[in-house]
Each structure stands twice: as structure tokens, then as C-alpha cells.
Chains A and B, each alone.
Chain A
Amino acid sequence: MIVAEQKPLEEIRNLIRGAEKVLVVGCGTCVTVCFSGGEKEAGILASAVRMASRVDGRPQQVTHAVVQRQCEWEYIDAVRDQVREADLIVSLGCGVGVQALAERFPEKIVVPGLNTAFMGMPVEQGVWSERCQACGNCLLGLTGGVCPIARCSKQLLNGPCGGSVDGHCEINADTDCAWQLIYDRLKAQGRLDLLLEIQPAKDWRTSRDGGPRKIVREDLRLNPTGSD
């Protein structure tokens, strides 16, 4: 899932300063599951902003809504009427959701209420951990299912650096050394020979380094010759 956390209230209030009618739009997908931008969080943020604006003597009208998926047009269209009423929209979606709302409603000011953090998963109640960086050329088949791009602080491809101690990364003891995890798993599976291969320099063109990315599936397009 995409993991995000809410911006500080003061930062959000600065972003919406001057707007009279504010609509907070939550998202029912990833950010609901990571408790940062779902129905509940949208409601709480709306009332927090309402109260704070009243205390300041400049009351803002703040309502909230949730769409099932903020990253697809047809779901966003469900809140079209509420959007029309508002001066400004606070998206509690990930960065994709914010941009989808902004693109769908170009006449409206859309601001982010979340900081999108990473693609990851909950590893225990209340703890999320990064797992994927979307490099566009998955190496997990070579590394025992542990990603060194997302989980090694230096994105090494040929084994651990000299700072790996007791299973920890050199940056801090709370971070696992990805290469220790890789080593342990491949050793347990009797596949350490995989680590003896020299992994050549990575081709980063499939990653963000190649520019903004796009996937086109001609077999799925309704209008393959149409412009996009």
C-alpha cells in the first residue's frame, strides 16, 4: 500500500488560509488502511480546522467527504457537487489523489493534507515499513525476496557495506541491514551462490531517473490511436 501521514494542523491551516468554504476529501483505499486519510481522519481534520478557525475569530466552513479511490476519475466524480460548493479542497489522498483532484477540478485550489511517505506495509500495529521504490525492474528474484533498492540505505547490489553490524544498518540500530536479511534468507535456502554473481551497474532508466513514467497497454486501450 501507499503509506502516508497527516501534515501538522498548522501547516494545513496555512495552506487553506483565506478560504471560506473548505472541503476535506478522504480516500477509501491505502490511506484509509494506514489511518491517515480515510473517513475518520477526514472528519476529525474537518472539525479540528473548524474549531481552530472559530477560536481565531475567522470561522471557516469545513465539510468532508470520502471517495472510494481518489486516483480514478469515476470515483472522484462522485463528489463533484460538494466540490462545486467549496472554495478550496484539502485532499487526504496520497500525492496521486491530490493531483487527480486538481486535474479533474482545475478551477479549484487543491492542497495536500498528507505527506505521502512510501510504498510499504504494516509490520506491526501502528508501524509501517518501506518495501518498494518502484525502480521498474524488479530484482527480488535475485535477492531472496528482500529489496536492496528500497531497504539498503545505499541501494547496494553486491552485498553489504562495511557498516553492517549485528543485523543493523549503519544509519541506526532501528533499521535492519537489508543485506543481512538477504544473506540469511538465501543461506537458509541454500542459495548463497546467487550472491557470488557480480550484479552489474543498474539501468535506472526504468526508475524515476528516466523521467516521469507511463505504461501503455495497447491491448487494453479503447482508442489505441487516440492521443493521451
Chain B
Amino acid sequence: MSSANNGFRTESRLERVLRSGTFAVTAELGPPKNADPAVIRQKAGLLRGWADAVNITDNQTAIVRMSSIAAGKLAFDEGLEPIIQMTCRDRNRLAMQADILGAYALGLRNLLCLTGDHHSFGNHPQAKNVHDLDSTQLIQMVVGLRDHAAFQSGEEIKGVAPRFFVGAAENPFADPADFRPLRLGKKARAGADFVQTQLVYNVPRFREFMARVCDLGVDKQIYLLAGVGPLKSLGAAKYMRDKVPGLDVPNEIVERMEAAGKGIDEKKAKAEAAKRVGIDICVELIQQMREIPGVAGVHIMAIEWEEAVEEIVTRAGLAPRPNGSAAK
């Protein structure tokens, strides 16, 4: 099977970028809360050429949106390389495997295995949640479908088995902090090929995390993409600092966002100044990430701000992207 792919595990373009040793760039595309394909096409146009692959979120923050696989197919048709996010919150192992088969049949090649935000945060807190599998077990299942051509139950897949490049997530800033590198190691042992981290704003803490990851040798087992994202406003910075469980936004970042708008009275100009600094900070973070041993790329989360990605990637010196993905 590997010979058919010239030594690659899958047909994923992201796998080729990472294996080549190129510092990888992934971005994020959030499907709309409606059934309009034009939204995906418009966002895809903003991202095309600036990222090696693009995460398509799956009912992000437990809010119903267009399915990640459907949106991923639309993005694929626009020339993007989608990473289909799949959470354990909304589907059991039957539904997940059915969707995995379908996603592969549609030409999708990357799958990110997530637990999922608790549905009490979303727009259907009355729902019954699933969590038949956890994210580590989902990784095992997707790897089993690929490497053993077997369903989770062990039953053989007769015919085409789905061969996904398998992603995982890790939050270096959640508790228990000591366990986080070990948990990542478990996901690597479960067979994940790459991991994207939660947004990094506290670089010293992230360095400590990475040092431990490297001590454990986990960086040799899995490609690690550090999560970064441009802050859009002072309010967003404060919200992320104070309200989002598991995010660590240091005060100095919040202060820089605050300073950005100081002395500017006009509302629009003030907001624009904050956005400029948000992008500056993101570019600086990427430059710092590139210096940290074990970091194989960045995952840029410009949530509902896809147009920022081009500037960030360009200013960070990461353009053009390899493999023809930069062709606009």
C-alpha cells in the first residue's frame, strides 16, 4: 500500500509538505450557520494559496453549522486541501465511520479527531450528547480503517478502505499541565500523524510544554503545528483571557491591544488600529514558533477573519506555499 503512494501513508498534500521538512501552514474555515455554499466559496477564495491545508470545523463551539464534510467538499472543489474536523460529541461510532467512508469517497484526505466542546455551550443545550468514543479512540479507529482495513468492530473492509492523514489536538495550557505532553504521547501512540495545538499566546509556557514533548521523544512520532491566531479587538483579547476555559492570554498581550487604540477617538480607526496590532502579534508569534524545537508548522486560526491569513503568512515569510498550493 505504501508503494502505491511512494512511501507516503496517504494521498494527503499536507503529509507531503510535512514530510518534506517544510514549515507547514494550516488555516481554518468555519462553515456558515445556514445552507449557503457561496459562503464557503468566498472564504475558500480568501485562503487559497496561503495554507497547505484548511481545517473545516465541525459544529464549532457546539453550534449547528453546515456539516464539515459537505463544507469540506465545497472547499475541495475550490482548490483547497481540507482537514475535516470530527468531534465525538455528536455521533457514535456507526455514524462516524459512515461519514469517514463518505468523506474519503468525496476526495477528502485529512481528518482531525476531536473530543468537541461540551454541548451546554452551544445553541442546543437540550441535546443528548454522545461521546461513544473519546478523541484518542477516534484516532485509533481512523488509523484502523486505514492501516488494517478494518472497521472499529474488527470487521474487514471489503473494497476501498479510507486512508486519512490523521490529526489530533492538544491544549498545552489546560490542566493538569504535567499530563498534557503525556496525553499528546498517547495520541501519537494511538497513531495520529499530526497535532494542532490550542492557540498559543503565552510563549514561555508553550516552550516548557515543547521541551517536555521533545524529552519524551513525541516530536519524533508526530508533526506538531502550533496554534496561533490574530486578535481582532481588545474585547476579544479580554474575552479569551477571562472567559475561555483552557486559553492563556498574558496581560502584556491584552495591554498591547489596549495601547493600539489609545489616543484614537474615531471608532472605526480605533478598531482598525487594534486589528493591525493583532496581526503584528500573530506574525511575531509565528516567528517565535519557528525557533522552538519540535514545531513543524503553524495552524492559523483567524476565526471569521479569513482575509487576515494572506497578510499573516506573507509577513511571516511563509509565502509562497509549496506544492503549487500558493498558485492564486
A residues touching B (Cβ–Cβ < 8 Å)? Answer: 153-168, 170-171, 177, 179-180, 183-184, 195-196, 198-202, 204
User: Which A residues lie within 8 Å of B310 (CB)?
Assistant: none
User: Which A residues lie within 8 Å of B198 (CB)?
Assistant: 162
Residue of A nearest to B134 (CB): A156
A160 touches B176 (CB 8 A): yes
B residues touching A (Cβ–Cβ < 8 Å)? Answer: 88-89, 93, 115-118, 120-121, 129, 131-137, 140-141, 152, 169-171, 174-176, 179, 182-183, 185-186, 189-190, 198, 245-246
- Top 8 A-B residue pairs of the complex, sorted by shortest distance between their CB atoms: A162-B171, A158-B136, A170-B245, A156-B134, A201-B137, A163-B245, A155-B131, A161-B115
Residue of B nearest to A161 (CB): B115
Bound complex: CA A135 to CA B189 (Å): 27
The smallest C-beta distance from A182 to any residue of chain B, in angstroms, reads: 10
Enumerate 16 A-B pairs (CB-CB under 8 Å) in ascending A order: A156-B115, A157-B134, A158-B134, A160-B174, A160-B183, A161-B135, A163-B118, A164-B176, A165-B246, A168-B245, A183-B179, A195-B182, A199-B136, A200-B137, A201-B93, A201-B141
Q: Which of B88, B131, B174 contacts A165 (CB 8 A)?
A: B174
The answer to whether residues A204 and B132 also contact, given A156-B115, A198-B140 and a CB cut-off of 8 A, is yes
Determine chain A's interface SS by DSSP, over half rule. loop
User: Which B residues lie within 8 Å of A157 (CB)?
Assistant: 134, 136-137
Bound complex: CA A165 to CA B182 (Å): 17
Given A154-B89, A159-B136, A162-B246, list of 11 further CB < 8 A pairs? A155-B131, A156-B115, A160-B176, A160-B183, A164-B176, A164-B246, A171-B120, A180-B176, A198-B189, A200-B137, A204-B132
A154 touches B246 (CB 8 A): no
B118 touches A153 (CB 8 A): yes
Which of A157, A160, A167, A184 is most buried by chain B, counting CB atoms within 10 A of its CB?
A: A160
Residue of A nearest to B120 (CB): A171
Q: Which of B118, B171, B175 contacts A180 (CB 8 A)?
A: B175
B179 touches A159 (CB 8 A): yes
B120 touches A154 (CB 8 A): no
Q: Which of B93, B118, B182, B246 contacts A196 (CB 8 A)?
A: B182
Residue of A nearest to B153 (CB): A201
A154 touches B245 (CB 8 A): no
B131 touches A162 (CB 8 A): no
Bound complex: CA A119 to CA B176 (Å): 27
Bound complex: CA A200 to CA B140 (Å): 8
Bound complex: CA A184 to CA B183 (Å): 15
The smallest C-beta distance from B196 to any residue of chain A, in angstroms, reads: 11
B131 touches A154 (CB 8 A): yes
A158 touches B132 (CB 8 A): no
Bound complex: CA A80 to CA B198 (Å): 63
The answer to whether residues A162 and B169 also contact, given A153-B118, A154-B118 and a CB cut-off of 8 A, is yes
Bound complex: CA A164 to CA B89 (Å): 17
Residue of A nearest to B125 (CB): A171
Which of A158, A198, A200 is most buried by chain B, counting CB atoms within 10 A of its CB?
A: A158
User: Which B residues lie within 8 Å of A177 (CB)?
Assistant: 175
The smallest C-beta distance from A178 to any residue of chain B, in angstroms, reads: 12
User: Which B residues lie within 8 Å of A164 (CB)?
Assistant: 174-176, 245-246
Residue of B nearest to A156 (CB): B134
User: Which A residues lie within 8 Å of B141 (CB)?
Assistant: 201
A154 touches B169 (CB 8 A): no
A162 touches B186 (CB 8 A): no
Bound complex: CA A160 to CA B182 (Å): 11
The answer to whether residues A165 and B175 also contact, given A154-B89, A158-B136, A170-B118 and a CB cut-off of 8 A, is yes
User: Which B residues lie within 8 Å of A165 (CB)?
Assistant: 174-175, 245-246
Which of A156, A180, A201 is most buried by chain B, counting CB atoms within 10 A of its CB?
A: A201
User: Which B residues lie within 8 Å of A200 (CB)?
Assistant: 137, 140
The smallest C-beta distance from A143 to any residue of chain B, in angstroms, reads: 13
The answer to whether residues A198 and B136 also contact, given A159-B186, A165-B245 and a CB cut-off of 8 A, is yes
